[in-house]
């Protein structure tokens, strides 16, 4: 019986457990496949640390947030134990014929490199940021947007009561999808995203025009947004253990600047990891389940080097090269359309 190993890698994301369950149910019901789950992303792959995954283990997990396998940003080439030869030995030792990597752009880049080094591997795209190209949507994004939209709605009522300007900071390192969707859904008066610089003067103009209509201004900003005079996205928390700047805090920078320039009392809120935690929305559970079923079909066909993806309403297979190397950013035209009614 063919046996495959699943891993979840990179930041976690609501819907990961639905993928794991969908894969195991499809595989055991339709293809006579067996599965193990590697612990903590590529760490479990490198060290051959895996748990058996059967129907009983995945029962009822699609409504749970996080990932039952754990995740990490551990790289498969990390010295001294990483690299393809060690991984091949680990796969042989635990009797695994191929790997299913569930992750974002970094995970797919790592998977592509492993493929080139002879590891049979396929991919499933995940990220709350929705910035992975080659798929129309990733699971987790919908849940994050629901949470961010509710946050805007809540900030709006307290902002109205106190006649304050409210600033909500959401995630989005290179792409402002969460800010765009939550901002549009909740009727924000300005949406600020990494793809498009806006001057402080312009932001304050929007804020003042809202106040002049007797309303309380609501600004949604993605963590990666930069004012024109900034050279890089705001980060005051140093680097993470993988040498990436830990973003966050642009909302706290903007709020006093807006208050100083407009005279309108302004408060900032950082939504942070609330966006990534908790139960997945129905939409993300469905997409995760469909991806899981599709990736079981993919490994049944030995479709190594491909990633499952959503195109329109169809689940398709795309080569890794299509998924890595570029960030799916918010199109300028889309932003401009939303911007036309800011203020
Ligand atoms: N080109 C690469 N070659 C080898 N390993 C890589 C490569 N790119 C990324 N990795 C490894 O894959 C891990 C996962 O990637 P990353 O941390 O970028 O998360 P991700 O999968 O993009 O998910 P997310 O961005 O949603 O958190 C990285 O921490 C790194 O160890
Ligand atoms: O602290 P961590 O786990 O690296 O997560 C922060 C990052 O995760 C992301 O949400 C991607 O999953 C980014 O928007 C954010 O910068
Ligand atoms: Mg990434």
- 126 and 100 inside one domain: yes
Residue 148 lies in a domain: yes
DSSP state of 281: P
Bridging pattern class, strands 34-38 and 50-53: antiparallel
**pLDDT score, position 233:** 87
**pLDDT score, position 238:** 83
Is 129 one of the annotated active-site residues of the chain? yes
- 227 and 314 inside one domain: no
**pLDDT score, position 29:** 98
Residue 340 lies in a domain: no
**pLDDT score, position 239:** 86
Bridging pattern class, strands 266-270 and 98-103: unpaired
- 163 and 234 inside one domain: yes
Tens of each residue's pLDDT in the chain, 343 residues? 899 999 999 999 999 999 999 999 999 999 999 999 999 999 999 999 999 999 999 999 999 999 999 999 999 999 999 999 999 999 999 999 999 999 999 999 999 999 999 999 999 999 999 999 999 999 999 999 999 999 999 999 999 999 999 999 999 999 999 999 999 999 999 999 999 999 999 999 999 999 999 999 999 999 999 999 998 888 888 888 777 788 888 999 999 999 999 999 999 999 999 999 999 999 999 999 999 999 999 999 999 999 999 999 999 999 999 999 899 999 999 999 999 999 9
**pLDDT score, position 93:** 97
Q: Is 319 exposed, middle or buried (0-12, 13-18, 19+ CB in 10 A)?
A: middle
Single out the residue in 242, 276, 310 at which a domain terminates.
276
The structural domain count of the chain equals 2
- 84 and 168 inside one domain: no
Closest residue CA from atom 16 of ligand 2: 173
Residue 300 lies in a domain: yes
- 146 and 132 inside one domain: no
CATH code assigned at 187: 3.40.50.460
- 11 and 119 inside one domain: yes
Q: What are phi and psi of 251, to 5 degrees?
A: -60, -40
- 163 and 265 inside one domain: yes
**pLDDT score, position 237:** 82
Residue 338 lies in a domain: no
Give 213 Cα–ligand 3 centroid separation in angstroms. Answer: 41
Residue 123 lies in a domain: yes
CATH code assigned at 42: 3.40.50.450
Give 150 Cα–ligand 2 centroid separation in angstroms. Answer: 20
Single out the residue in 221, 242, 276 at which a domain terminates.
276
Contact 280, 140 (CB under 8 A): yes
Residue 334 lies in a domain: no
**pLDDT score, position 248:** 81
- 271 and 284 inside one domain: no
- 148 and 226 inside one domain: yes
Residue 267 lies in a domain: yes
List pLDDT tens digits, range 193-231: 999 999 999 999 999 999 999 999 999 999 999 999 998
Contacts of 236 (CB under 8 A, 6+ apart): 248, 249
Give 336 Cα–ligand 1 centroid separation in angstroms. Answer: 31
Which is nearest to 190 in space by CA: 159, 164, 218, 148? 218
- 23 and 120 inside one domain: yes
277 annotated as belonging to a binding site for a ligand:
no
Closest residue CA from atom 15 of ligand 1: 106
> What range does the domain containing 224 cover?
142-276
- 93 and 113 inside one domain: yes
- 199 and 241 inside one domain: yes
**pLDDT score, position 161:** 97
């Amino acid at each position: 019986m063919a046996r495959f190993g699943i891993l979840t890698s990179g930041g976690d994301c609501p819907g990961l457990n639905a993928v794991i369950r969908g894969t195991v149910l499809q595989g055991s019901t339709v293809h006579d496949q067996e599965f193990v789950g590697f612990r903590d992303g590529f760490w479990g792959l490198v060290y051959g640390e895996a748990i058996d995954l059967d129907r009983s283990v995945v029962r009822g997990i699609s409504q749970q947030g996080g990932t039952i396998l754990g995740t990490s940003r551990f790289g498969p080439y990390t010295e001294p134990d990483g690299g393809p030869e060690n991984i091949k030995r680990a796969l042989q030792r635990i009797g695994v014929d191929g790997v299913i990597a569930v992750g974002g752009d970094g995970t797919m880049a790592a998977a592509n490199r492993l493929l080139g080094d002879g590891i049979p591997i396929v991919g499933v795209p995940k990220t709350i940021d929705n910035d992975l190209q080659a798929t129309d949507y990733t699971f987790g994004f919908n849940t994050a947007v629901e949470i961010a939209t509710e946050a805007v709605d809540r900030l709006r009522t307290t902002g109205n009561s106190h006649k304050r300007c409210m600033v909500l900071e959401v995630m989005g390192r290179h792409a402002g999808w969460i800010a765009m969707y939550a901002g549009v859904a909740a009727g924000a008066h300005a949406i600020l995203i990494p793809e498009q610089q806006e001057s402080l003067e312009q932001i304050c103009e929007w804020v003042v025009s809202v106040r002049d209509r007797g309303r309380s201004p609501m600004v949604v900003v993605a963590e990666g947004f930069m004012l024109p005079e900034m050279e890089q996205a705001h980060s005051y928390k140093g680097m993470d253990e993988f040498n990436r700047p830990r973003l966050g805090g642009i909302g706290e920078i903007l709020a006093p600047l807006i208050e100083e320039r407009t005279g309108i009392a302004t408060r900032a809120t950082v939504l942070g990891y609330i966006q990534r935690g908790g139960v997945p929305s129905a939409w993300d559970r469905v997409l995760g389940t469909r991806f899981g079923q599709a990736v079981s079909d993919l490994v049944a066909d030995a479709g190594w080097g491909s990633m499952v993806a959503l195109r329109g309403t169809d689940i398709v297979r795309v080569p890794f090269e299509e998924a890595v190397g570029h960030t799916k950013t918010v199109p300028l035209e889309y932003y401009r359309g939303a911007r036309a009614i800011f203020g």
